[in-house]
Amino acid sequence: MRGTLLAVLAGLLVWGWSGGAIAGPLTERLAQFPHWEERPPVQAATGDLYYPAWFQGTWEVTTALVDLAAPLAPNVTTPGFEQNRRFLNQSIPFQARFIPVDRPILPRGFGLLGQVPAASPIVADRAFNGLNLARAYLDESADAENSRVVAVRVDSTNPNRQLTVLRGDRRLISTISARATETPNPDEFVTSEIFQQEFRRSNQLYLNQVETTTRYTRRHPVQDDEPSITADQVTAIYLAPQDPEFEQAGDRPVALYRYSLTFFPAPAP
């Protein structure tokens, strides 16, 4: 259960945008899967992630685990890796929402880097998306009252900090620490984030670090059964420095999960 939760919820935190970039190391990184020997080139995360305008709205999303790898096995593995094989090629549907927000106040000189967002930038509704995806994976029925997932909350003062509350006095605290983005062209967007995870249960604490790197492509569908957006996403699990096997693993991932996603506009309420 713990390994499944960490792998699933890792993908909830990343979906962002930054203009003015070109194809670069993140795009190449996805092409090199599963041969990842180090962490991606990222910078300290500040503020929220901004999406291109074509993300705005509510979406019917389908995600499917299409590949997984344990690069350091059998010497070093992560909890739940083998159990997660049962999700291979299973389509998991859920709703996601992206909303406009007021233009943030930017520090002096920020625009010199060409990273100024639009007047009303688009951000992920992280609590809505996180709750829907967690319940889609972890619940056997659509009965919200009996859900294993009690709530997903985002820190009102820090959009990079998220709390997932589970039944049985279990909590997952995820804090994004670093990110990078690329926009190869107007119809593509690539992002990578590193975040710290604390999984608490009673008096137990499990720590690890996670990377999620995603390439989104805007499609121009001509038929109703064609998605408006597709995505290639890889979640990488790293050991935290406190782990006894950290010295052996170092900056190499101990588990890799690759997902394929499709986005269809949700019907109007």
pLDDT of residue 119: 62
End-to-end alpha-carbon separation of the chain, Å? 34
pLDDT band at 269 (very low <50, low <70, confident <90, very high): confident
pLDDT band at 13 (very low <50, low <70, confident <90, very high): very low
Q: Which residues contact 192 (CB under 8 A, 6 or more apart)?
A: 14, 26, 29, 40, 42, 179, 180, 181, 211, 212, 213, 214
The pLDDT of 144-160, averaged and rounded, is 86
Higher pLDDT, 227 or 2: 227
Q: How far apart are CA 198 and CA 204, in angstroms?
A: 10
The pLDDT of 108-128, averaged and rounded, is 65
pLDDT of residue 104: 53
pLDDT of residue 142: 61
Query: How many CB atoms within 10 Å of residue 239?
Result: 24
The pLDDT of 54-80, averaged and rounded, is 93
pLDDT of residue 237: 94
The pLDDT of 228-253, averaged and rounded, is 92
Q: Answer whether residue 115 shows pLDDT above 70.
A: no
The mean-pLDDT minimum among 76-80, 94-98, 104-108, 198-202 falls in 104-108
Q: Which of 89, 82, 83, 84 is nearest to 65 (CA)?
A: 89
Q: Answer whether residue 12 shows pLDDT above 90.
A: no
**57 and 98 in contact (C-beta within 8 Å)?**
yes
Specify the pTM.
0.84
pLDDT of residue 14: 42
